[in-house]
């Protein structure tokens, strides 16, 4: 309560101060950024007491103080803080990769791939089927010719099945969960990032073929598509080796070094036109698995230390970007899609788990960790809206609304899965904030 009163006083103080000064050197962005961090932190602490994940609190704080509600954070300030968000995504991807071990992937990799395959296929078919059924009420499908409708349905469904590595990593970091459900969910989410990028590239090519976009947009060559994935593995591997070399030879200023690696890793990926998240995940994975265990432990510890404030910033900014009015108006269409998507995930994981004879807790709870959506999906939405500007605008609104719904519901479900499977001690959870923990073992016996 004390913190809310202080927050209210700070809000009034900031509003009183704004007419006195002038913008310059991003100072307004700094003011709002500082306020947003404090607001997110305060609301995050409150949501923990309500039994919800902190990141939901960060999202709510962003929504409450963002441009679509109290406007304590302006859209200009959010734009100015885009590099912070980019750095956060890169850091989360690197951390996600560093949580995986090669020997465990070898043991359970095939199981995870099969579970993922079932889940993606059923979700994709479910969403596509629902879009066909509801096409009269969906703005970008209602008046479109059959070929265009098919192209848009394929693109929409591919983006809608994406998961969120950032939410998964943030929640595992927050709760300290390292059990079977945590391991399998993280493995599936990371693998799905690769799968979704491949699927999106294929569906984009298909969409461009059956419904060529206006202008002289050219089809991406197959070589380019292969390079985006394979190049990410190569570039990420090279960065990971450099990190491992640094850990072996220098082993100092790890926090600063990991920040630099993620910052420049993202720049390298952009410059070489490879998938950024996959590059950084691979870099984290290679660095973790090539280095001596003590050294990699220290690196992960440094990463996790810097991750706590990064999560606050990332999710609060993500919340601030949610356009509440648009989400509310799109809710009648979005809710059925979200429910069908969740059903597809549930059914797909159930079938996949039975097929691979996974543990009972995996059958029951892993699907709940796959509902979240965030960064990857938003990135793909932007690509589609630039490809088809007219239809892309309404598709963008619908997809962002869907992502917003899943972004809020996903963490709540995932936390519930971890609690129900006994991987989180409910009494201890509120005090656990990104504590250094051993790397996630994907081996079900580990």
24 binds another protein (CB under 8 A): yes
Min dist. Cβ of residue 432 to another protein (A) = 10
Stretch that binds another protein, among 89-97, 256-264, 331-339, 420-428 (CB under 8 A): 256-264
Min dist. Cβ of residue 56 to another protein (A) = 16
Q: Interface mask (CB under 8 A) for another protein, residues 267-286, using x and -?
A: xx-xxx--------------
Q: Confirm if 81 and 30 have CB atoms less than 8 A apart.
A: no
Alpha helices in 134-217 (DSSP H): 139-142, 146-160, 165-175, 180-210
425 binds another protein (CB under 8 A): no
Nearer to another protein, 28 or 193 (CB): 28
For another protein, the binding residue among 14, 46, 134, 229 (CB under 8 A) is 14
Burial state string for 98-128 with b = 16 or more CB within 10 A and e = fewer than 16: bbbbeebbebbeebbbbbbbbbbebbbebbb
242 binds another protein (CB under 8 A): yes
80 binds another protein (CB under 8 A): yes
- Comparing CA positions, the residue from 312, 285, 264 lying closest to residue 103 is 285
> Chain-centre distance of CA 411, in angstroms?
11
Tokens in use for 428? 């201890």
Q: Interface mask (CB under 8 A) for another protein, residues 291-330, using x and -?
A: --------------x--xx--x------------------
264 binds another protein (CB under 8 A): yes
Q: Confirm if 356 and 373 have CB atoms less than 8 A apart.
A: no
8 binds another protein (CB under 8 A): no
Stretch that binds another protein, among 60-68, 261-269, 373-381, 384-392 (CB under 8 A): 261-269
What residues contact 257, with CB distance under 8 A and at least 6 apart?
243, 246, 250, 302
Min dist. Cβ of residue 158 to another protein (A) = 29
Question: 374-413: which residues touch another protein (CB under 8 A)?
Answer: none
DSSP-derived secondary structure for 225-247:
HHIIIIIHHHHHHHHHHHHHHHH
Question: 28-67: which residues touch another protein (CB under 8 A)?
Answer: 28-35, 37-38, 41
What is the C-alpha to C-alpha distance for residues 68 and 48, in angstroms, rounded to an integer?
A: 25
Q: Confirm if 192 and 124 have CB atoms less than 8 A apart.
A: no
What residues contact 318, with CB distance under 8 A and at least 6 apart?
59, 62, 85, 374, 407
Nearer to another protein, 132 or 267 (CB): 267
Residues of this chain that interact with another protein (CB under 8 A) are 2-3, 6, 9-10, 13-14, 17-35, 37-38, 41, 80, 83, 242, 246, 250, 252-253, 255-257, 259-260, 264, 267-268, 270-272, 305, 308-309, 312, 431, 433-434
């Amino acid at each position: 309560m004390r913190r809310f009163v202080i927050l209210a006083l700070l809000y009034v103080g900031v509003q009183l101060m704004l007419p006195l000064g002038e913008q310059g050197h991003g100072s307004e962005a700094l003011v709002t950024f500082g306020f947003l961090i404090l607001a997110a932190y305060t609301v995050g602490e409150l949501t923990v007491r309500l039994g919800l994940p902190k990141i939901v609190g960060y999202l709510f704080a962003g929504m409450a103080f963002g441009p679509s509600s109290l406007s304590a954070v302006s859209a200009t300030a959010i734009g100015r803080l885009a590099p912070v968000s980019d750095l956060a995504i890169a850091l989360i991807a690197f951390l996600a990769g560093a949580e995986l071990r090669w020997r465990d992937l070898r043991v359970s990799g095939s199981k995870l791939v099969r579970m993922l395959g079932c889940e993606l296929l059923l979700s994709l078919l479910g969403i596509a089927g629902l879009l066909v059924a509801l096409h009269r009420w969906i703005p970008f499908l209602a008046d479109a010719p059959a070929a265009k409708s098919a192209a848009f349905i394929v693109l929409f469904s591919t983006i809608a099945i994406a998961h969120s590595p950032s939410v998964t990593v943030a929640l595992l970091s927050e709760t300290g969960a390292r059990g079977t459900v945590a391991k399998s969910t993280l493995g599936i989410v990371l693998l799905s990032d690769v799968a979704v990028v491949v699927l999106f590239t294929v569906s984009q090519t298909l969409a461009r073929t059956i419904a060529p976009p206006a202008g002289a947009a050219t089809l991406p060559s197959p070589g380019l598509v292969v390079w985006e994935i394979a190049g990410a593995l190569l570039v990420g591997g090279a960065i990971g080796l450099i990190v491992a070399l640094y850990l072996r030879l220098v082993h100092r200023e790890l926090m600063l070094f990991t920040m630099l690696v993620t910052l420049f890793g993202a720049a390298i990926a952009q410059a070489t036109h490879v998938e950024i998240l996959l590059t950084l995940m691979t870099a984290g994975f290679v660095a973790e698995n090539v280095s001596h265990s003590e050294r990699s432990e220290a690196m992960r510890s440094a990463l996790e230390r810097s991750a706590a404030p990064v999560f606050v910033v990332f999710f609060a900014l993500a919340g601030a970007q949610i356009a509440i009015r648009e989400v509310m108006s799109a809710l009648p269409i979005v809710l059925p899609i979200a429910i069908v998507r969740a059903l597809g995930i549930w059914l797909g994981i159930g079938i996949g788990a039975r097929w691979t004879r996974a543990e009972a807790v995996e059958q029951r709870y892993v699907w709940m960790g796959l509902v979240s959506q965030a960064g990857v999906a938003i990135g793909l939405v932007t690509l589609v809206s630039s490809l088809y500007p007219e239809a892309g605008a309404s598709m963008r609104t619908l997809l962002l609304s869907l992502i917003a719904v899943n972004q809020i519901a996903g963490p709540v479900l995932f936390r519930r899965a971890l609690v129900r499977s006994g991987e989180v001690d409910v009494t201890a959870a509120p005090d656990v904030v990104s504590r250094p923990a051993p790397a996630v073992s994907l081996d079900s016996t580990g």
